Amino acid sequence: MFNFRVLSILKRELKARIATKSFIISTLVMPLIFIVMIAIQIVISEYSGDSKATVRIVTENQEVTDRLRAGFAEKEYVKDSTYTMEYSTISNGEFDKQLPKLKDRIVDEKLDVVVFISDSAVASKNLELYSRNTKNISLERRLGRVINTVLIDLHFQGKDISPDDLNYARHNVDFNSLKVTKDKAIEENNEGQLALAYIFNFLLYISLLMMASLTLQSVIEEKANRIVEVILSSVNSTELMVGKIVGASLTGLLQMAIWLSPIIIIIFFSLPVLPADIVVTLDWSQIAYFMFNFLIGLLIFTAMAGSVGSMYDNPQDAQQAFGPIVMIIVVPFLISMVILQNPTNPIGVIASMLPITNIIVLPVRMTMVDVPIWNYLVAVAVNFVTLYGIYVLAGKIYRIGLLQVGKKPKIKDIIKWLKTN
């Protein structure tokens, strides 16, 4: 398959892609965009609960009201008027009568939240919260911490329990996660491995999508400008396809290597860039598999994109046909986001060995848990079979589609192309 004509196409593709401002800019800008996205997420997470809110707490016990008033008065979000707190104590059974007026205030946006703590709720901790929002997790956490403390204090009031015992009861357990590896060594888990998994997931998703999209555009442009007809006078369609796909894949591989190099340098040379409590472990075998796996993914997805581009000379039609390929990339990305919460999730384990999905899912899993060798072997074998099948089908579409001009192919036309020898 590889000969001097393919190498000429490959050289042309690499020169056209790497020696361009767009490649240099995207290579340099993408890490900055990633950093900005993380920073924005941190800022949003940090201040997600800081929107102003007026909260009305209604109880059936004056002591509960007084304790809540004192508890919330110490909180910064009340001191700085982020939350405006209102309190009222009513008789047992009166809340249903007051609820219509409270609902009117909520609808009129004069009140954001109403929390009702009945006498029975003091024992059961089952509270009622009324608001315009279906769920405000940040607000519920803030209100819940103070209310839970007050209810615990009341529950143990008068009992022979020291303040230290009460503080002990209020606090949740704190897990110090320790990872046991195959050699029975124990490593302390921290946010570093989770962050690395996020980075791998994001880089694979973005790069595969970007390189497939660039390949699609390149094929469409050459077909629309009739450049492809000139090229096909010197090489056949298979040689042209292989040269373009391999060229695009090597470009993506080089770009990924540049993106990963700062991470590799920081990890392997133990540079004091990360906080002391953030430890990231990664070995060369994992990096080698990541890059090899990524190259296979590039070859598969750029072949798909190239075959779609060869069928159309209208960019709009090609973009519509490109939609399913985008979804094929998005699905494993979403699966990986789910398994970040639980790397041993059966769906994640299965997806890490299925065609296409394993390209993103398995590298994410390997940063968080010890993946058995047979998982890697199955994934590699599946990828090679998938790659072969994709290239056979793409080659048939590419051979006929490149010379089809002025006619939008239908499904039956594509099926007919695939049946050709």
The length of the chain, given as a count of residues: 421
Q: Which long-range CB contacts under 8 A does 32-38 form with residues at least 24 apart?
A: 34/199, 34/202, 34/203
**pLDDT confidence tier of residue 270, bands split at 50, 70 and 90:** low
Mean pLDDT, rounded, of the chain: 82
Q: What is the pLDDT of residue 184?
A: 44
CB 186 within 8 A of CB 178: yes
Query: How far is the C-alpha of 250 from the C-alpha of 69, rounded, in Å?
Result: 64
**pLDDT confidence tier of residue 174, bands split at 50, 70 and 90:** low
367 alpha-carbon distance from chain centroid: 15
Q: Which residues of 245-257 are buried (b: 16+ CB within 10 A; e: fewer)?
A: bbbbbbbbbebbe
Q: What is the pLDDT of residue 125?
A: 84
What SS3 class is residue 264?
helix
Q: What is the CA radius of gyration of the chain?
A: 30
DSSP-derived secondary structure for 266-287: HHHTT-TTS-TT------HHHH
Where do we find the tokens 């599946």?
A: 382
Q: What is the pLDDT of residue 186?
A: 42
**pLDDT confidence tier of residue 46, bands split at 50, 70 and 90:** low
Higher pLDDT, 337 or 225: 337
Pair of tokens at residue 20: 């361009």
Q: What is the pLDDT of residue 182?
A: 55
* pTM, entire model: 0.70
Query: How far is the C-alpha of 331 from the C-alpha of 344, rounded, in Å?
Result: 18
pLDDT digits (tens, 9 = 90+) for 220-241: 887 777 777 777 777 787 888 8
Q: What is the pLDDT of residue 204?
A: 92
CB 327 within 8 A of CB 357: no
Per-residue pLDDT at 88 exceeds 60: yes
Q: What is the pLDDT of residue 276?
A: 55
Per-residue pLDDT at 56 exceeds 90: yes
Where do we find the tokens 């940040």?
A: 138
Distances (CA, A) of 384 to 293, 354, 356, 378, 380: 10, 12, 11, 10, 6
Choose among 333, 332, 328, 320: nearest CA to 304. 328
Percent pLDDT > 90 in the chain is: 24
Other Cβ atoms less than 10 A from the Cβ of 303: the count is 27
Q: What is the pLDDT of residue 192?
A: 67
**Least confidently predicted of 44-48, 189-193, 214-218:** 44-48
Query: How far is the C-alpha of 403 from the C-alpha of 417, rounded, in Å?
Result: 12
Query: How far is the C-alpha of 263 from the C-alpha of 260, rounded, in Å?
Result: 5
Query: Mean pLDDT, to the nearest integer, of 178-203?
Result: 65
Query: Mean pLDDT, to the nearest integer, of 54-72?
Result: 91
Query: Mean pLDDT, to the nearest integer, of 51-60?
Result: 88
Query: Mean pLDDT, to the nearest integer, of 13-36?
Result: 76
Other Cβ atoms less than 10 A from the Cβ of 113: the count is 21
In the DSSP assignment, the letter for residue 74 is T
Of 109-123, 360-374, 378-392, 402-416, the range with the highest mean pLDDT is: 378-392
Domains and CATH numbers, the chain: 4-37+190-419 (no CATH), 52-170 (3.40.50)
At what angle are helices 373-401 and 237-268 packed, to 10 degrees? 150
pLDDT digits (tens, 9 = 90+) for 287-319: 999 999 999 999 999 999 988 888 887 788 888
**Least confidently predicted of 17-21, 56-60, 195-199:** 17-21
**Least confidently predicted of 105-114, 126-135, 169-178, 376-385:** 169-178
Strand (E) or helix (H) holding 57: strand 53-59
Other Cβ atoms less than 10 A from the Cβ of 237: the count is 20
Strand-pair partners of 386:
none
**Least confidently predicted of 81-95, 124-138, 160-174, 354-368:** 160-174
Per-residue pLDDT at 269 exceeds 80: no
Query: How far is the C-alpha of 343 from the C-alpha of 366, rounded, in Å?
Result: 9
Higher pLDDT, 291 or 37: 291
